[in-house]
Each structure stands twice: as structure tokens, then as C-alpha cells.
Structure 1
Amino acid sequence: MKQVAVFGMGYVGCVTAACLSQDGHSVIGVDIDADKVAEVNAGKAPISERGLDELMQQQVASGRLRATGDTAQAVRESDIALIAVGTPSTEDGAVTVHILEKVIADIGTALRASPKPYHVVVRSTLLPGLLETRMREVLEQALGRPLRSDVVLCNNPEFLREGSALKDYYHPPYVLVGAESDAAAQPIIDLYHAVDSKKFVTDSRTAALVKYACNAFHAVKVTFANEIGSVAKAMGADGHEVMKLVCEDSKLNISTAYMRPGFAFGGSCLPKDLRAISRFAEHEALRLNMLSSVLPSNESHLKRALKMVRDTGQKKVGLVGLSFKNGTDDLRESPMVEMVETLTGWGYSVKIYDPNVMLGRLRGRNLSYIDRTLPHLAQMLVEETGTLLDHADVLLLCTDVANDFDWNAAHHGRVLDLRADLARPLAAASAKINSGEAADAASAARVAVA
């Protein structure tokens, strides 16, 4: 069992402290508010949360949970600090970090006076980069030295909802720790031995952004349902029934499908249907801010990809995959078609490899679309990978057509994997990765701990 100090006796801190104590750890809560400290020591929860009063009363009575306002005492009597103080927004939306900085500085000062191995774990919601730069600097200044392996700074985002926090603590989507190594994360993972979920370790920037991504996704889901409800009402449909049936689809809708950062979407359905809903909303004077922003957002991914190509300084481009996805020859509104159209307009020399696309077999609207947008496509298509490699100074992997060949090993120049590189840090994006591993490389969480 661990000796743990929990800084901040708010919603997250109180729930975390009480549950850790219930699981057998020795826990000391820390807060600058003397009234909160007194309430905890009296076995009362300073906040209103279902079931928390009873749990805190039990744990204080057991002797495993207590509280103090003395940081130095808390650090002396613990091996791990979980920091759960507030990081509220400023008027311009920025994150307020001065409270967190003060706590980390006080912990560092206590460790400077009484050196020992220690884990400083930020549970507060903090934007990626702040822990690794500002908070590390604050801790090192307080310690009077650079961080070494004896003092670990990492993060452990929480996924608790007010009103169901105790249930969420023991049944979260997962336990997530952001640390420099599995060994550094293991003491934090061990805290949650009674928690029924998978445990994941990744880098601290990724861990921090996961929390923001989850909350943003929840907000997107609420907004999406509300906008579909508005459209349904205007169309005379039942919005609740629509969304109920949408949620019945666990293959594509409520699933991992389409949830991998990659390139822009296209095809004959998604752009067309988004435009139709947006046009109807305009006619009915409905304001669908989110749905109407989807196509412009999609276009921005294409522009980012074009900038990546332009930044290489190379004018001879090879494209792997032209249809909007692998396994089809449908070129309608494929972002790759628009990319080729733009690049040729800029004076680039482009060759394309896509075994799914054969000009002689294109028919109907598919043929008329390509005749309008890429009338010289026949001169760009190549049938052999060697021909593409001989031509290209920069190679663009656009669809999973690329999975059938090791382009990185065969190509002498730059390879941009648009299925992953738009969401990958610069250093990782420039590294050569086998094309068949693109999906895994796009989400490089280090390991799952069972």
C-alpha cells in the first residue's frame, strides 16, 4: 500500500482521497482552506457528492484518511503527491495555472529540505506542454537542481463526472498515466489496483490532450444531437427517434470507425449530404454552427497537406491512391483529385499510382467529374510502382492502396504519409515508417498495462 498526499480538497481531490483510502492506501489531504481541512478531519465531505459523506466518515474513522494545511508535513508523510487543484479559465479562455505552480513549488521546497524519492503527479486538467515546460521549471527551481530519476513529474488525468464520481472512479473508461517511462508510471498504476478498467501509459503531452479530446468530443456529441434535433423539428421528423436509431449502429456510428486522425474525407455521399442539410437549414433560417463548419474544416486539412508538399521544395510528386478510399474507383469529390488539380495548377509534375482506377472503366458521373477536374489524368496514371518511384522526388501516401508496398524502403526521397503525418509531431512525421504500419504509428501510445 502507498503513502499518498492529495492536494486540493475539491470534487476530484476529495473523491480521489476517499477512494484511495478505501482501497487501503494511507492518504493525507492537503488544502489551504482551514475549514475544508477541519471538515475532512471530522469525517465530512467539503463538497456535495452522492455517497461521499458516508465514505469519508468511514475512512477517517479507519485512520487511513486525514487532512492538513501543512505541505511540508504532507510531503514528509507520503511518497506520492496527487495534485487536484483548479485550473479555471481566464476571461480570454486561457488556463489559470498559478495555483498549480504554487503547489508544485511548495512540494519542491519541501523535498529540497528533506530529499527523498518522490512522485509529483498532476491530476488537474492542464494543456499539453505546460507540465513539461513551466511546471518542470517551477519544480526544478524549488528543488534547486534539475530533475533526476529520484523525483518524477508526470500526469494522471481524471475522468470523473459530478453526481456519479464514486462510480466513475471505480469504473472509468481507463486509467491513464503520462510519464517518461513505464517504470516511472508503475507506482501510479499501482494506486489503482482496485479500479476495474484497463491501465494505459503514454507520454505526458498525449495524456494531457486525451482529457481535452474527451471533453471536446462530449461537447461535440451534445451539439450534434441538438442540431439534428433542430433539423428534425423543421422537417417534421422526431429528433429523439432519429438519434435513437443513429445510436443503434455500433458498427460505424457509436464505434471506433472514422476515429483515426488522417486526411480529408471525400466521396459521393458525405460532402453531398452535408451540403444538403446545411442548405436546408439556411432556407429554414436554422443556425447549425457545427454541421455547417464540417466542410470548411475538411478543406483546411487539404490545405495543410498542400503546404506540407510545398514546404519540401520538390516539384516532382508521386501520389499513391487517387480515389477517395482504397477498394473503389469512385473519384467524385476525392480530396486527392483536388490535390492533384491544385498541384498541377502550381506547375508541379504529378504521377499517380492507384490500381483501382482504370480510365477505360469509369462511367457516368464518375467519368464526367474527372473529365471536368482532371482532363489529363491519362497522362498522370502509372501502372507500375517502379515508374512512380523513378519520377517522384516526394511521395504522398494517400490511401491504404499504399499498404501493399514498402514505399519508404524503396523511395530515395521524402515520403509524406497523409494518413498519419497531419496528426504526428514533426520529428515523428519525418521518420520513415513502413506504410502498412501507418494506422498504428498514428496513435503511438506507449503501452497498455493490464
Structure 2
Amino acid sequence: MRITVIGIGYVGCVTAACLSRDGHQVIGVDVDAGKVDAINRGLTPVFEPGLEELLKTQVETGRLSATTDLASAIIGSDVALIAVGTPSADDGSTNDQALRRVVQQIGTILSGTDQSLVVVVRSTLMPGVLEDVLTPLLAEAMGERVGDRVLICNNPEFLRETTAIADYDQPPYVLVGADGDRAAKVVLDLYSKLSCEKIVTNTRVSAMIKYTCNAFHALKVGFANEIGTLAKSLGADGREVMEIVCKDTQLNISTAYMRPGFAFGGSCLPKDVRALARHAQREGLKTDLIRSILPSNNSHLERAAHLVRSTGARRIGLVGLSFKAGTDDLRESPQVLLAETLLGQGFELRIFDPDVRVTSLIGANRHYIDERLPHLAKLLCESPSELIEHSEVLIVATSVVDRLDGFDRFTGRIIDLRRDLVVAETCDSDSVQEVAR
């Protein structure tokens, strides 16, 4: 394909060189004449191991060149890949002005022509910007709707400085955010020589994945540093601690605990996080990340209570009380805390959990529930039908509901805390699809 890469800084330069190497005809565009001149002489405008040799070879083959003239590059191209910077604004938000200008310019260039083009945003942008800002800008500049001869989608990059070429060639996956198969296929064809997983999802999910990955990387660095600080204060080697922690690929470095849903609870996680935070406070250590874990969990609990209040209903049914299905352990269960909150706010609450029997609760488990829900026996329903008859709104908290019959007869509002706090109502939960390996 003939590809225009707009913005030949770090991401654009590496992407242009690799696409050219893989057989595409690539022309880079930048407002900086110095960058353009460097590329046309086979020199790299950014430092990256191996990039200059690759650029020089591709320029010599005639498959890679650069210009400051966007219009001459766009006309005749199959794909316009945008890789301009989106730096932080003064208030911390993303400054996407350069991105907006480029999209508007592309629309103006295409106005009055019959050229087909796929516009691919590789720049990092917040979910909603492509849909609510860039697409309308493109349509207005062209004077026609987007989605017929001109398509727009996103294709986040996952390149690290000093290993960018290797990261391009061996990515965790190729990710395309597109609202139709036509655009997705064009972008996937760009990477046909890469033997990795190819994933197509919608544009909002795709944009969010890029931010999520970077936030997670930052979180891991911060977490490891705080654990190292705590370990040192306790006479342990923080590096050895984390090396051994990372050997657990069943729970620690895995998909376990990585599914957004409701708050965590149980007899272990809250008390152990609390103990670390208390030790840090006692020793005068600043471990803001670990200290914020429990408040963050409580905030998720508060969002659940707010969601219930927003229904306007008073008779509430709760399905699942223990911290996870299949146990009667109520210690620091988020469902118990939610029930306590709702009762305190005057809701008429009834609960169904076939694993919980007040008469069988013993020890610390019994003591905890006696403090939190001293009248639990009066709140528990013996059968699903009893709960349904009482309730205007049902709250599903755990997979207990999957083992029960009769809930299909309920005609009121169902709040599923396993997804309703984290999945947008307009989203299709099955929108992510694996296209190829």
C-alpha cells in the first residue's frame, strides 16, 4: 500500500521505517523541515538503536521519503497514519490540538475529490476524542459523512525507547479500534508480516487500552518501589521479595484479579493491606500507593450504593452476601458493607445466599456479622421466590445467582455489581474479537 505517515518524531519515524521495510511505499510528513531533510538523506531525526541503518536502507530502495507538503503526500495514498504528539496541557489533560489540525487538513485536501482513504490515528488519544471530535471535524472539512469513501479508526502503538524496532516486530498484539470491518482489514494488512495476535475492538476500548497499559506500568513501578521501601524497613531484601512474587504466574503475574467488577473483601486482603499501611505510618514512610488501596476499594463500594439510590426504589433484594460464592465467610465482605450502608439509609433490604446460615456461623465470622448486621436472621430469605416477592430492585453481587432458578421471573430492575459499575451501557461486552494469530 501507499502510506502517508504524518508526524515523523519517535513513533512516526520508527513506524514509517518498519512499514517501508515490510514492502509498503511510505512518505513521511512533518512541519519540521529539518526532520524531513534528515530522513531524505537517510539520517534519523531521533535516536533509536538500529533506526538509522534501517532508514538509510529504505531511503536508498526508494520506498521511503519525506516532505513538508501534506497535500502531495495524501493524494494517491491508501492510508494516512497520524503519529503527531499529544502532550500534556497545563491542567494535566491531553493537548490534542495538533491532531485536530491534521484531521481537519486531511478533510480539506479530500474535499472535492473522489479519493478513498483510511485515516488511522496512532497518536495516543482519550476515548471519545476520535468519535466526538475528530470524526465530526473530518466530515465538516470534507463536506460529507465519514464512513463511505473515507474511514477513520485508531491503532495504538506499544513501542519503548531503545527497543522500539524489536517491539514493532514482536508486539504483544496488534490492536485496531474500528467501527467496521473495512477499516479494520486495511490496518491489519499493514501488519500482515507480523506473527502475533491481531485484535479488533471498538474505537473507545482501543483508546482506553493504551492508557490502561501505561497506567499499569506506572502502577507496577510505584508498587515495587513501595514494597522495596517497606521490605527494607522490616529488614528484608525488597528485590528478592519481588523476584519471588513474580514467579507466581497463577495469581500474581496473570489474569487473576484483573477483571473489573465489585470491591474486594474477605479475611486476607483488607487486613494485610491495612497492616502494611499501618506499619508505614508508624515508621514515617510515605507509601501513598499502598495507603490508597483501601480508600479506592471503599470508593467502589460507595459507587454501588449510589447506583442503588439512583433507582428511587426502597425495597431492595441482595443476592449473595459472603465475599465470594461457595463460602459462608462474611468477614469484610463488600456485600455485608453494602447491606450495612443500605440499611443505615433506610432501605427495606432482604438477602438471599444459600451458603449462609446464621446458626452455622462461628468464631470470628460470627463476631464480625454480629457487629455489622446483628439482625441478619431477619434479613435472610429462605427461597428466591421470597426475595423476588419483596424486591423492586435486585442486586446481584456474586455468582451465587448462576446456581439458582426462578430469577427469570423477576420483572424489576436488576443491578449486577459484577459488571454494572464498570461497563458502559452503550458498550457491547463481547466487542473484543480475535481476528487472527
Q: What TM-score, normalized by structure 2, do the two folds share?
A: 0.97
In the comparison of the two structures, how many residue pairs are matched?
Answer: 436
Once the two structures are TM-superposed, the CA of residue 182 in structure 1 deviates from its matched residue by: 2.5
Once the two structures are TM-superposed, the CA of residue 146 in structure 1 deviates from its matched residue by: 2.4
| 1:296 partner SS | helix
The equivalent of 2:85 in structure 1 is 86
| 2:310 partner SS | helix
Aligned 8 A contact 1:171 1:195 in 2:
yes
**1:160 aligned partner, one-letter code:** L
The answer to whether 1:447 aligns with 2:423 is no
Once the two structures are TM-superposed, the CA of residue 402 in structure 1 deviates from its matched residue by: 1.6
- Percent of pairs identical after alignment? 54
Structure-to-structure mapping, 1:297-336, within 5 angstroms: 297-336=296-335
Aligned 8 A contact 1:172 1:196 in 2:
no
Query: Could you say if the C-alpha distance between residues 172 and 10 of structure 1 is closer, same or farther in structure 2, counting changes exceeding 3 Å?
Result: same
The equivalent of 1:284 in structure 2 is 283
Aligned equivalents of 2:95, 2:59: Cα separation in 1: 32
Once the two structures are TM-superposed, the CA of residue 444 in structure 1 deviates from its matched residue by: 3.4
| 1:27 partner SS | strand
Aligned equivalents of 1:344, 1:422: Cα separation in 2: 21
The answer to whether 1:380 aligns with 2:379 is yes
Structure 2 unpaired stretches of 5+: none
Structure-to-structure mapping, 1:16-55, within 5 angstroms: 16-55=15-54
**1:397 aligned partner, one-letter code:** V
The equivalent of 1:201 in structure 2 is 200
Once the two structures are TM-superposed, the CA of residue 408 in structure 1 deviates from its matched residue by: 6.3
The equivalent of 2:2 in structure 1 is 3
The equivalent of 1:127 in structure 2 is 126
Once the two structures are TM-superposed, the CA of residue 386 in structure 1 deviates from its matched residue by: 1.5
The equivalent of 1:169 in structure 2 is 168
Aligned equivalents of 1:422, 1:408: Cα separation in 2: 21
Once the two structures are TM-superposed, the CA of residue 149 in structure 1 deviates from its matched residue by: 2.0
Once the two structures are TM-superposed, the CA of residue 445 in structure 1 deviates from its matched residue by: 3.2
Q: What RMSD in Å do the two structures reach over aligned CA positions?
A: 1.3
Once the two structures are TM-superposed, the CA of residue 162 in structure 1 deviates from its matched residue by: 0.7
Aligned equivalents of 1:215, 1:142: Cα separation in 2: 33
The equivalent of 1:338 in structure 2 is 337
Aligned equivalents of 1:339, 1:319: Cα separation in 2: 9
Structure 1 unpaired stretches of 5+: 429-440
Once the two structures are TM-superposed, the CA of residue 406 in structure 1 deviates from its matched residue by: 6.6
The equivalent of 2:12 in structure 1 is 13
Aligned equivalents of 1:408, 1:117: Cα separation in 2: 51
| 2:111 partner SS | helix
The equivalent of 2:222 in structure 1 is 223
The equivalent of 2:61 in structure 1 is 62
Comparing 151-160 with 109-118, greater Cα deviation is found at 109-118
Comparing 386-395 with 7-16, greater Cα deviation is found at 386-395
| 1:339 partner SS | helix
Aligned 8 A contact 1:76 1:114 in 2:
no
Aligned 8 A contact 2:76 2:115 in 1:
no
The equivalent of 2:232 in structure 1 is 233
- What do the CA deviations read for 1:181-202 (whole angstroms, capped 9, x no partner)? 2232110011101123111111
The equivalent of 2:271 in structure 1 is 272
Aligned 8 A contact 2:177 2:203 in 1:
yes
**1:446 aligned partner, one-letter code:** V
The equivalent of 2:255 in structure 1 is 256
The equivalent of 1:411 in structure 2 is 410
| 1:383 partner SS | coil
Query: Could you say if the C-alpha distance between residues 158 and 376 of structure 1 is closer, same or farther in structure 2, counting changes exceeding 3 Å?
Result: same
Once the two structures are TM-superposed, the CA of residue 400 in structure 1 deviates from its matched residue by: 1.2
**1:390 aligned partner, one-letter code:** E
**2:150 aligned partner, one-letter code:** V
Once the two structures are TM-superposed, the CA of residue 407 in structure 1 deviates from its matched residue by: 6.8
| 1:136 partner SS | helix
The answer to whether 1:101 aligns with 2:87 is no
**1:171 aligned partner, one-letter code:** Q
Q: What TM-score, normalized by structure 1, do the two folds share?
A: 0.95
Once the two structures are TM-superposed, the CA of residue 447 in structure 1 deviates from its matched residue by: 1.4
Once the two structures are TM-superposed, the CA of residue 364 in structure 1 deviates from its matched residue by: 0.1
The answer to whether 1:389 aligns with 2:375 is no
Aligned equivalents of 1:214, 1:362: Cα separation in 2: 42
Once the two structures are TM-superposed, the CA of residue 365 in structure 1 deviates from its matched residue by: 0.5
Query: Could you say if the C-alpha distance between residues 193 and 406 of structure 1 is closer, same or farther in structure 2, counting changes exceeding 3 Å?
Result: farther
Aligned 8 A contact 2:328 2:356 in 1:
yes
**1:296 aligned partner, one-letter code:** P
Aligned 8 A contact 1:408 1:415 in 2:
no
- What do the CA deviations read for 1:82-128 (whole angstroms, capped 9, x no partner)? 10000000121111111111111111111114331111111000111
- What do the CA deviations read for 1:364-412 (whole angstroms, capped 9, x no partner)? 0100111111111111112321221111110111011122247763311
Aligned equivalents of 1:16, 1:243: Cα separation in 2: 34
**1:184 aligned partner, one-letter code:** A
- What do the CA deviations read for 1:312-368 (whole angstroms, capped 9, x no partner)? 011111111100111211101111111111111222111111111111211101001
**2:378 aligned partner, one-letter code:** Q
Aligned 8 A contact 1:320 1:402 in 2:
yes
**2:369 aligned partner, one-letter code:** I
Aligned equivalents of 1:13, 1:221: Cα separation in 2: 27
| 2:206 partner SS | helix
| 2:260 partner SS | coil
The equivalent of 1:191 in structure 2 is 190
Once the two structures are TM-superposed, the CA of residue 137 in structure 1 deviates from its matched residue by: 2.1
Query: Could you say if the C-alpha distance between residues 408 and 420 of structure 1 is closer, same or farther in structure 2, counting changes exceeding 3 Å?
Result: farther
Once the two structures are TM-superposed, the CA of residue 213 in structure 1 deviates from its matched residue by: 0.4
The equivalent of 1:434 in structure 2 is none
| 1:148 partner SS | coil
Aligned equivalents of 1:234, 1:268: Cα separation in 2: 25
Query: Could you say if the C-alpha distance between residues 104 and 289 of structure 1 is closer, same or farther in structure 2, counting changes exceeding 3 Å?
Result: same
